[in-house]
Amino acid sequence: MPKEKITVVLMCCNRTTYLKEAIDSVIDAVNNFSDDIRFYISDNSTTNSVEIFLEQAYPDIITIKRMDPSRVEQHHNLIIKETQTDFLMMLHDDDKIHPQLINKLYKEIINDDKTGAVASNSQVINSIGDLRKRKMFKSNNKKIFISKVSNLLPYYFRFIHNGNAPFPSYMYRVKSIKDFIWSEKTGGKYSDVSMLCYILKEYRIIWLNDVLFSYREHAQNGNNTVNILHKIFLYKYLKTLSDSPKMLYNLRFRTHISIMRKRWARSIFYYKSCYWKRLFSILFCRLR
């Protein structure tokens, strides 16, 4: 076994816009940790843009270039399989972490063998780093202990809680996720939710109130693209794990209603825009 206790992986894919900020924030957090950490960059790009940037700006950082770039699911599976330390963090190339994030997550998870994952609260920033939201979730300044799937899932549906889950600031206990395989059947790009539910089969999850992570919203966010097929697979998989299938059905129904309301609102807005545009064009022609 390696002497390092934690593996921190920064996952990259064809994007260098925010990479320097992401790397610098991880380096600060790694330097603030008292023990050794295995930190490397996993480059899953289909181009050489990230590789060229890293060679010039960070030649000393360990980089694994995936010679056969894979889907999001396979990329996560490779990282989990390769990890030999007890704990793992998988970060994205557009986010920033607080210098104390690794320290605080490790102190929390190391104290209890029944904790499978721990995360901090997060703030939301825009593409240029301006603050958009101070906290991803509200907890009355207390830790949140999650031991059931039915306690976890509502946080991933905005119409129930005023906020989101603290994705992706998790530190995972590797043995709690070692046998989990990301795939289409577990929700594809949404398999992070399935993996958390999988952890709850034998472990609990803790969310800290401390804001130690900055989640960046921008035009290239993966969450901007909705994959309906993956969502269907996600619901099917969660149904096999959920301790409350009725609750899961209600969440699915209310989510569909929420989506339909948004689509209906957009349709009305489009109709009104076309109406007024047509009316003004007629009036303008008559005035001429």
Cα–Cα distance for residue pair 161/13, rounded to 1 Å:
31
Least Cα distance to 86 among 169, 167, 172 occurs for 172
Q: What is the pTM of this model?
A: 0.82
Mean pLDDT of the chain: 83
Q: What is the pLDDT of residue 38?
A: 95
Q: Which residues pair with 144 in a beta bridge?
A: 207
Cα–Cα distance for residue pair 221/130, rounded to 1 Å:
16
Question: Phi and psi at residue 138, in whole multiples of 5°?
Answer: -105, 135
* Interval 103-156: pLDDT, tens: 999 999 998 999 999 999 999 888 888 888 788 887 888 899 999 988 888 887
Domains of the chain: 6-243 (3.90.550.10)
Q: What is the pLDDT of residue 50?
A: 95
Report which DSSP code applies to 158: T
When pLDDT is cut at 50, 70 and 90, the band that residue 258 belongs to is: very low
